[in-house]
């Protein structure tokens, strides 16, 4: 997962600085497995996934959430987390997530 993200990224922060993390989470948002990237991302990424699992009313197949809110498991504004549910028989059975540092996300 991490190698694919690195190779397909256009971002210098991800491609060259390796400022990203990837992980798998169970249906409740608990960390199951992670790639050996940045531990600071992984400690809080579980909270980001848990928050979305708790607050998302209904997950639909093909849906992806982009999050970075510091009160919902985010680290700091440039660290963006992408959370994708994986379905079996219409229910999310696990989640894949990646968090990467983006150099320019806009704003002041």
The verdict on residue 14 lying in a domain is no
Residue 26 is assigned to a structural domain of this protein: yes
Q: How far apart are alpha carbons 46 and 10 in whole angstroms?
A: 25
CATH number for the domain spanning 72: value is 3.30.450.20
Render pLDDT for 26-61 as a digit per residue (tens, 0 to 9): 999 999 998 877 666 777 889 999 999 999 888 999
Residue 74: the pLDDT is 81
Give domain status of residue 39, yes or no. Answer: yes
Q: Is residue 28 part of a domain?
A: yes
Report if residue 106 sits inside a domain: no
Chain segment 54-91, per-residue pLDDT in tens? 998 889 999 999 998 888 888 788 889 999 999 999 99
Domain for residue 96, yes or no? yes
Which residue range forms the structural domain that includes residue 77?
A: 19-101
Q: What is the DSSP string of 14-82?
A: HHTS--EEEEEE-TTS-EEEE-SS-HHHHHHHHHHHHHHHHH-S---TT--EEE--GGGT--STTEEEE
The answer as to whether 31 is a domain residue is yes
Residue 4 lies in a domain: no
């Amino acid at each position: 997962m991490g190698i694919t993200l690195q190779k397909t990224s256009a971002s210098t922060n991800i491609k060259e600085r390796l400022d990203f993390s990837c992980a798998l989470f169970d249906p409740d948002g608990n960390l199951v497995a992670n790639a050996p990237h940045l531990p600071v991302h992984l400690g809080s990424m579980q909270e980001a996934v848990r928050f979305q699992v708790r607050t998302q009313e209904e997950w639909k197949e093909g849906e992806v959430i982009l999050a970075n809110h510091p009160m919902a498991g985010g680290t700091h504004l440039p660290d963006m987390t992408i959370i994708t549910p994986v379905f079996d028989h219409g229910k999310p059975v696990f989640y894949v997530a990646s968090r990467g540092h983006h150099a320019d996300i806009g704003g002041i």
